[in-house]
Structure 1
Amino acid sequence: MLTAARLGAAALTGALLAGAAAAPALADPSAEASVPGTASPSASASPSPTAAGVPAGLYGKGDPQYDGVWRQSLALIALHQERVEPAEAAVTWLLDQQCEDGGWPSYRVEGAACTPATEDSNATSMAVQALVALGDHRQAVTRGTDWLRANQTVDGTWAYNPGTPGDANSTALAVNALLAAGLDPATTAAQGGQSAYAGLASFQLGCWSPAEQRGAFVYQPVTGAPAAPNTLAAAQALLASAGGHLPVTTTDRKDAAPKALDCPTTQGDGPVAHADSAEADAAWLTGRLTAGGQRLLLDTPGAAATADFNSTAWSVLGLVASGHSAEASGAANWLAGNGYAWAAQGKNGVDPAATATLVLTARAAKLDPYNFGGANLVQLLVDSGPKPKAGPAAGDPQATRAPGAAITEPDENSGFSAGWLIAVGLLVGIGAGILLSLNRRRNAAAATSAAAAASADAATSADSAPEEKPEQDR
């Protein structure tokens, strides 16, 4: 049954379409890509990744210098979750990026030698998770985790690049990789050093901090400066402290809201216990989401406090992994309504890292990545890389449409789909055109009858009235 809102929207669409019928066609075929859920008509005609200077097996068209391995790994994790079998070239590219010592750089040109100082713990951690998800890559996974263990600092943390100070984000991602590979972060430590969980705890603000900061994570402690909570650090650390990794598939659910730290009257100065870490972080993030209208804001010094899609998505993943899916639902719905621009409208078109993150977020929150706010995220991701071997298995109950359908069934995430609206709008527009045509015919017939009557009256008057001059001559 059509609601008043749907009828109004359909009528408006019909009117717009009817008016647009006489307008000239758009000169830029990529303009259609601004409609959520539609693939750009020019995508098939665009230069190949190789022609654009991007390896043929890589997802995305942008410069891979800083995020090649990261975005490739995220894309492979997300597509595997959706039962899309990637092209061999995509998996081979990731494997070929691994260095002899087991680590991955952010990106290296084919044939270029590895430079140990530029190997990247974030890329390595994400690549390990991707290869674990894909299966059949145990040797590469073991070499990757061996590299992570060899580059863990004595304080239990990881740095982005070896030899630099550890940070919360890199440590959290390394913990994710260890968990994915079946290793225990509680016992993973450099010789004579602290465990990975102890290293992660060193970034969390405890009972010695102001009440509004407790449970949050800092990116890096700065000697002599007050601690500053970092939203992305807190969001990525939550998945790790909850004992999770990508993809998030937990079905645990806690009925109670996340519990803030229970601090004694006398402030302590010890680290937050691992048993309390996830709950305290989840409580802080939930408060920030509520204050920010169900999204987190950028807190980079000097940057405007705009919406931070990445940290919002990671907060959903962490909240679900920690059992707080109810607290994650508002942020997931906000992403469904606003995330398309982040995923698909960058300067290089589809951003595979952002799109893959949204696919993983949607599935964790039990929403439909094939119709996430009207956008088929899976298709966007597939189209950003080499043609996959196969799509989801036939009859997959988790997929409303196999990749290829830009818009899926209505009323799943966000009201009704753009496809439904356009179809109804076309019908309304056609109906409006028919009604206008019939109305014009009735008006023409009425005018003819009136003219005939007027002519007869004029003839009768001419026989009985004196002759008059034309009106313009009076």
Structure 2
Amino acid sequence: MSLRRRAALLVTAASALTVLAAPAALADTTPTAAPSTPTVTRADLYGAGDPTYDGVWRQAYAEMAVSRNGYSAAAGATAWLLAQQCADGGWPSYRADTGKPCDPKTEDTNATGIAVQALTQTGAGSSPAVKRAVAWLGSVQNADGGWSYNPGGPSDPDSTAVVMAGLGPQAARKPNAKGRTPYDALRGFQFGCSAKPADRGSFGYPGTDGKLTPNAKATADALRGLADAGLIGYGTPAATPSAAAPDCTANPGAYASLDAHGTAAAAGAWLSAQLAKGGGHLTAVTPGATAPVPDYGTTADAVVALAASGRLTEAQRTYTWLAANSASWSKGNPAALAQLVLAAGAAQTPRASGADDPLTRLIALGPAPTKRATGAETHADADDDGGLSSSTTTWIVVGVVFVASAGFGILLSGRKRRQA
């Protein structure tokens, strides 16, 4: 059974960057030629662990976390990310030798989508690298409007959400040649009136037989994708949705007729119920185990997802549990530390101080970012009220994908569902 989920550019990253506009819709982007590969070293990568399966992912996540918290990403960190890009615009999870041409089979939509998010946030949203990435993503979009992890496979909600988050609202609602939008594809994974009442509102992940199964990671990633693509907003301190669930008795098509906000509310309600069932956190069964254990990565994703759907009180409660129990999971793990930093921001909750601050711990694992002067805002800062609000200021997925679950092995399997 396949695993579950998972630059070259003439740019010198400045110490203080101004975030540019979000990428245009797929069909409006013209790719540009790939320039020579910048010189980077291993020291430009966050984390000391093997980057084979998550190098691009953790680098992008780390850059977004530091950029949203008063720093400008280190020039070397951005150069490392750019050097990983392939000539055709896509990113693999990691290229050990950037001097050699990419094997197209190694490129994936998740690494590419998260790299676009990071580059956009750190100031390169209109760069040739991003334009080539957007063009590549358009070339591997499926007929149903969505994306698979590796091009050529059936669409999945996690990959579709990650790409949507990178492309922004215009592309998320732009029909392809078949008249289908990425938003349409994502909505197609949500359980509605035909499902059991306990499953309604969740997003499912397709198994090897194509059958959907309710999945917390897919649900959290879908909510994050909707928010980062600018299709829903983030919660306010007083926001706790009270709207009743869609009435399937009165209207068997109630879920199908929901708008983006209704879709998010239904997904948030389901996710909240799973957290309550797990005792304040999500659980997963790790490979080789029989009993569920805390799923830290997806719980962190859920914090951001709950905030995005207006359930700020629940997001704060969940983050409190996460902050108190995640030290072992996040130790030395830049992607996990970035998740904690971004979850705290989404929940509008203070992080731990001093050496226990996940941002401090993250910065210690990579090239030192530059502290911005007081009052020197990026677009992300200006848009940020403790949460997140658009694809140009994303944190992302996520999956998520997307990223970790109960440990580093889960981090990889949680993101790389379909890698060959």
TM (norm. structure 1) is 0.65
Q: Distance in 2 between matches of 1:300 and 1:168?
A: 21
1:258–1:160 Cα change, 3 Å: farther
Structure-1 separation of matches of 2:137 and 2:237:
29
Equivalent residue in structure 2 for 1:367, among 349, 370, 380 = 349
Q: 2:284 aligns with which of 278, 282, 298?
A: 298
**C-alpha spacing 1:211/1:270, structure 2 compared with 1 (3 Å):** closer
Q: Which residue, 366, 373, 388 being the options, matches 1:393?
A: 373
Cα-to-partner distance string for 1:383-440 (whole Å, 9 max, x where unaligned): 101233x2253599x9xxxxxxxxxxxxxxxxxxxxxxxxxxxxxxxxxxxxxxxxxx
Contact conserved, 2:52 with 2:93, CA < 8 A, in 1? yes
Task: Tell me the distance in 2 between the aligned counterparts of 1:104 and 1:367.
Answer: 33
Greater strand percent: which structure?
Answer: 2
In structure 1, how many angstroms separate the alpha carbons of the residues matched to 2:341 and 2:138? 30
Q: Is the 8 A contact 1:257 1:327 kept in 2?
A: no
Residue aligned with 1:228, SS: strand
1:70 shift after superposition: 0.3
Give the unaligned 5+ runs of structure 2: 1-40, 382-420
| Conservation of the 8 A alpha-carbon contact between 1:201 and 1:273 | no
Where do residues 264-303 of structure 1 align in structure 2 (5 Å cutoff)?
264=249, 267-268=252-253, 271=256, 273-275=258-260, 276-298=262-284, 303=289
Change (3 A) 1:154 1:85: same
What's the counterpart of residue 190 of structure 1?
176
Give the direction of change, closer, same or farther, for the CA distance of 1:244–1:292 in structure 2 (3 Å limit): farther
Asked if structure 2 preserves the Cα contact closer than 8 Å seen for 1:169 and 1:233, the reply is: yes
1:142 aligns with 2:131: yes
Amino acid at match of 1:167: D
Distance 2:271 2:52 in 1: 32
Q: Check conservation: 1:75, 1:352, Cα contact below 8 A.
A: yes
Gap change, CA 1:259 and 1:317, over 3 Å in 2: farther
8 Å Cα contact 2:72/2:122 also seen in 1: no
Q: Find the partner of 2:337 among 347, 355, 373.
A: 355
2:327 maps to which residue?
340
Structure with greater helix share of residues? 1
> Is the alpha carbon distance of 1:146 and 1:183 closer, same or farther for their aligned partners in structure 2, counting shifts above 3 Å?
farther
Q: Is the 8 A contact 2:65 2:338 kept in 1?
A: yes
1:457-472 pair list within 5 angstroms: none
Q: How many residues in Structure 1 have an aligned counterpart in Structure 2?
A: 333
2:345 and 2:135 mapped to 1: Cα distance? 31
The equivalent position to 1:176 in structure 2, one of 140, 165, 185, is: 165
Whether contact under 8 Å (2:316, 2:349) holds in the other structure is: no
Structure 1 residue aligned with 2:241: 256
TM-score of the superposed pair, with normalisation by structure 2: 0.73
Aligned twin of 1:208: 194
> d(CA) in 2 for partners of 1:242 and 1:249?
7
Larger Rg belongs to: 1
Unaligned ranges ≥5, structure 1: 1-53, 345-349, 399-474
Secondary structure of 1:161's aligned partner: coil
> Is 2:316–2:348's contact at 8 Å kept on the other side of the alignment?
no
Identity %: 41
* 2:313 is equivalent to residue 321 of structure 1: no
**Quick one: distance in 1 between partners of 2:188 and 2:228?**
17
Query: Aligned equivalents of 1:243 and 1:378: distance in 2?
Result: 21
Sort the Cα spacing of 1:263 and 1:68 in 2 relative to 1 into closer, same or farther, 3 A: same
Counterpart selection for 2:318 from 322, 331, 338: 331
Cα RMSD after superposing both structures = 2.8
Distance 1:302 1:265 in 2: 45
Q: Is the 8 A contact 1:289 1:295 kept in 2?
A: yes
Q: Are 2:214 and 1:229 equivalent residues in the alignment?
A: yes
Would the aligned equivalents of 1:60 and 1:351 in 2 still touch at CA under 8 Å? yes
